[in-house]
Amino acid sequence: MKRKFVQIAALCLSIALFMASGGGQTGSAASSGASGKIIRVGLHHDGSYGTGAMEGLNMANSTGAGFRFGYYNSANQFTALGSTTEKAVSVVKTMNVCYGTLNGYTSYHSGVTSSVAVGEYHLQASGPYSTFAAAQSAAAKYEGGFPAYIGGEFYARIGNYTTRAKAVEAQEAFAAQGVSTVLKGTSEYSVNVVVTGTNTILFQFDDLGKGTGLGVEPNGSGAGKYVTLSKNKLYYGGFRFERIGGKDMTVVNMVDFEDYVKGVVATEMSTSWPVEALKAQAVAARSYAATLGTRHSGSHFDICDNTHCQAYTGQTRAGANSDAAGDQTVGQYAMYNGKVAETFYYSSNGGASEGSANVWGGSQSSYPYLVGRPDPYEAKAGVSNDWTKTVTSSVLVTGMKKLGYTNIGSSIVSIAVTSLTESGNPRKVTFTDSNGKSYSIDTRYVVGMLSLRSYRYGFSAAAIAYPSGTDAGPGDGVNINGSTTADSTSGLYAIDGNGNVSAVDGDAYVITSGGVTQLEPGSGGGTGTGSSGAAGSLSSTTGSNGSFTFIGRGWGHNVGMSQYGAYAMANMGWNYQQILQFYYTGITVGYM
């Protein structure tokens, strides 16, 4: 790691430092509240990172006046078609489903039987109509009547029958009364809104595969935000139900971007944590969401609600601190060279973050702000994050063959961490087989092969030692000429012997009579006097009875911000900008 040393002597200065005005933030402060931008969050969907599309989903609203139905246009704006005062409704796919419990969830499923069945056959009595009210009025003339919106037009429909024969029997009964109807079977894109726990249909929606889906929002009756309860979670905003490709329903939370950020903060961190840590999480979550773009566009939403993107449980865990963190950082992002930084984060690094290239491959220059660095602060969080993992020789051989080492011997006899990254984590791990042949493997392949919990590991306690450091917080620094204290490189300039002036950035160290002090990049706090080396060390093992135990510390991929590190730093007095600039090298905190 390239280091810059600034020599300060009592009688002679070979390099002069000057303080310049300026800070990390740019732009004017945005007011708290809604952003006006809607983000589409996938809650239930198929795919590698999905929890599964739904056949039926229950929704309840105790703070509004029921629900309104409609659809979202291409700009994510809601167009209302109709409404209900019912406060507990379910949206179900238009196929035969019964109300019951399946896999621990009580709703409507095709895999259960019960006396409450919503059938897939209906009778169309009249239409088209120009409004929901007209169709609803016409449908009200018949028992089991309901309004339907099919391909952009309203109709009055009757009943729900589980077989075609039952529908034909009902049709003949209506004909005997002089009422002409048209039999309508199931549609692969249609959904029904029913009163939860019954087979009473309130509304049927079918976009005929055009991809709009059904929109459902709380039917508010006054100022304020309204919360919807679904699957024991609370959500702001509305919901879109779409049967993509005629399958089960993909359910998307259509929510204001800033409300989404608050939901992520409350899910990713405890709301009892210091507000400055929560504010750092808010900026990181907002920035990361902005850089993901439309990762899940193929499933018709922007971002999912699990750790494939960011963990999000709506407002379920929200508290005063997490809401304040969102409100006090509204519109603020981590910026690098005028662009929003991709702010990866994780639970704990065990003493050192790691560069993106060592974890995911590629060029480190693609993510200049995601470089690894020793982290002496996380240890002060008081959390136990040590772990061990024992694996057998046969597991190692199988794993290495999958990596392409097909000529490996029948067993592994020793393992050694043979090189370290700049931050003190393993870079290369060497496996020696029973034939005496050694294989040096990049750490990212080792972590992936063995599903290790973090990138800080080895085979001895020394290998995962915390880097040395002091309890210095952001108020500590270096006294310059007895008058000014500097604890970061922000606003510092160096003059060399030829009179050339250049900004001091990166890792800068000041040598004084008291020792060596590191100045943090940007406006971060100083680490204080004393060594702040990477710690960690090379280590090896020959195993025991054909098994090898990895000793590690931390939880996550180690790239970017440690959440427990942010917690510890906030407790030490660091503000959220300083925390972010410690973990994301060279960024500023500002507005797009």
Could you please report the per-residue DSSP string of 360-410? H-S-GGG-TT----B-SSGGGG----EEEEEEEHHHHHHHHHHTT-TT--S
What was the pLDDT predicted at 383?
Answer: 87
What was the pLDDT predicted at 51?
Answer: 79
What was the pLDDT predicted at 115?
Answer: 96
Q: What is the rounded CA–CA span in Å between residue 45 and residue 52?
A: 5
> Is residue 583 in some structural domain?
yes
Per the structure, how many domains does the chain have?
4
What was the pLDDT predicted at 30?
Answer: 37
**Which strands form 117-118's sheet, in the order they lie side by side?**
105-109, 97-102, 117-118
The residue among 213, 232, 257 that closes a domain is 257
- Say whether both 480 and 443 belong to one domain: no
- Which residue spans within 443-591 are E strands per DSSP? 457-458, 478-480, 484-486, 492-495, 501-503, 508-512, 515-519, 539-541, 547-553, 561-562, 588-591
What's CA 390's distance to the chain center, in Å? 30
> Is residue 528 in some structural domain?
no
> Is residue 451 in some structural domain?
yes
- Say whether both 192 and 72 belong to one domain: yes
What was the pLDDT predicted at 111?
Answer: 95
- Containing 7, the helix (H) or strand (E) segment is strand 4-7
> Is residue 549 in some structural domain?
yes
- Say whether both 263 and 375 belong to one domain: yes
- Say whether both 229 and 148 belong to one domain: yes
- Say whether both 133 and 186 belong to one domain: yes
Cα dist from 214 to 68, 226, 333, 570, whole Å: 11, 19, 33, 44
Please report which residue ranges of 87-246 form alpha helices under DSSP H. 132-139, 164-176
CB 452 within 8 A of CB 446: yes
What was the pLDDT predicted at 207?
Answer: 94
Write down the residue that tokens 């982290």 correspond to.
375
CB 496 within 8 A of CB 15: yes
> Is residue 527 in some structural domain?
no
> Is residue 32 in some structural domain?
no
What was the pLDDT predicted at 186?
Answer: 85
Q: What is the rounded CA–CA span in Å between residue 77 and residue 380?
A: 46
> Is residue 325 in some structural domain?
yes
- Say whether both 94 and 199 belong to one domain: yes
Task: Give the length of the chain.
Answer: 592
- Say whether both 354 and 460 belong to one domain: no
- Say whether both 204 and 77 belong to one domain: yes
Q: What is the rounded CA–CA span in Å between residue 427 and residue 102?
A: 47
- Say whether both 142 and 155 belong to one domain: yes
> What predicted TM-score, i.e. pTM, was given to this entire model?
0.84
- pLDDT tens for the chain, 592 residues: list them: 333 333 333 323 332 333 233 333 333 333 345 668 999 999 999 977 777 999 999 999 877 789 999 999 999 999 999 999 999 999 999 999 999 999 999 999 999 999 999 999 999 999 999 999 999 999 999 999 999 999 999 999 999 999 999 999 999 999 999 999 999 998 899 999 999 999 999 999 999 999 999 999 998 766 668 899 999 999 999 999 999 999 999 999 999 999 999 999 999 999 999 999 999 999 999 999 999 877 788 889 899 999 899 999 999 999 999 999 999 999 999 999 999 999 999 999 999 999 999 999 999 999 999 999 999 999 999 988 999 999 999 999 999 999 999 999 999 999 999 999 999 999 999 999 999 999 999 999 999 999 999 999 999 999 999 997 655 667 555 555 544 455 555 556 565 555 555 666 655 555 444 333 455 555 444 333 333 567 789 999 999 999 999 999 999 999 999 999 999 999 999 999 999 999 999 999 999 8
What are the residues facing 82 on neighbouring strands?
69
Which residues span the domain enclosing 137? 38-257
- Say whether both 126 and 203 belong to one domain: yes
- Say whether both 366 and 412 belong to one domain: no
> Is residue 530 in some structural domain?
no
The residue among 241, 257, 273 that closes a domain is 257
Q: What is the rounded CA–CA span in Å between residue 5 and residue 277?
A: 31
Q: What is the 3-state secondary structure (H, E, C) of 461-476?
A: HHHHCCCCCCCCCCCC
- Say whether both 212 and 158 belong to one domain: yes
Please report which residue ranges of 152-216 form alpha helices under DSSP H. 164-176
What was the pLDDT predicted at 590?
Answer: 95
What's CA 573's distance to the chain center, in Å? 27
The residue among 213, 228, 257 that closes a domain is 257
